[in-house]
Structure 1
Amino acid sequence: MALRAFTRSDYERLINWIDSDELNYQWGGPTFDFPLNAHQISQHCAHPDVWPFMFSVSGESAGYAELVETSEGHLRICRVFIAKPFRGQGIANRMFYQLIQLAKSEYRADALSLAVFEHNTAAKRCYESLGFVVTSRESGMRSFRGESWVLLRMEKSLFSSD
Structure 2
Amino acid sequence: MGLRAFEKSDYGTLIHWIDSDKLNYQWGGPNFEFPLDCTQISKHCAQSEVFPFIFVINEENAGYVELFKVSESHFRICRVFVSNDFRGKGVAKQMLNQLIELSETQFNVRELSLAVFERNKIAKNCYESLGFVVTAFEQGTRSFDDAAWDLLRMEKRL
3-state SS in 2 of match to 1:141? coil
- Identity score, percent: 60
Instruction: Tell me how far apart the structure 2 counterparts of residues 99 and 79 of structure 1 sit (CA, whole Å).
Output: 13
Instruction: Tell me how far apart the structure 2 counterparts of residues 58 and 72 of structure 1 sit (CA, whole Å).
Output: 33
- Give, as a single letter, the amino acid of the residue that structure 1 aligns with 2:38: A
Instruction: Tell me how far apart the structure 1 counterparts of residues 107 and 63 of structure 2 sit (CA, whole Å).
Output: 21
Partner of 1:46: 46
3-state SS in 1 of match to 2:119? coil
Give CA-to-partner distance per residue, 1:41-82, whole Å, 9 cap, x none.
Answer: 000000001000000011100000000001120000000000
- Give structure 1 regions of 4+ aligned residues with deviation exceeding 2 angstroms: none
Partner of 1:60: 60
Give the TM-score, by structure 1 length: 0.97
Partner of 1:146: 146
Could you tell me which runs of 5 or more consecutive residues in structure 2 were left unpaired when the two chains were aligned. Answer: none
- Give, as a single letter, the amino acid of the residue that structure 2 aligns with 1:100: I
- Give, as a single letter, the amino acid of the residue that structure 2 aligns with 1:84: N
Structure richer in strand, relative to its length: 1
Give the TM-score, by structure 2 length: 0.99
Partner of 2:80: 80
- Give, as a single letter, the amino acid of the residue that structure 2 aligns with 1:81: F
- Give, as a single letter, the amino acid of the residue that structure 2 aligns with 1:52: P
Could you tell me which runs of 5 or more consecutive residues in structure 1 were left unpaired when the two chains were aligned. Answer: none
Partner of 1:9: 9
The yes-or-no answer on 1:19 pairing with 2:43 is no
Provide the alpha-carbon RMSD of the alignment.
0.4
Partner of 1:96: 96
Instruction: Tell me how far apart the structure 1 counterparts of residues 2 and 135 of structure 2 sit (CA, whole Å).
Output: 30
- Aligned length, in residue pairs: 158
The yes-or-no answer on 1:35 pairing with 2:35 is yes
Instruction: Tell me how far apart the structure 2 counterparts of residues 16 and 44 of structure 1 sit (CA, whole Å).
Output: 17
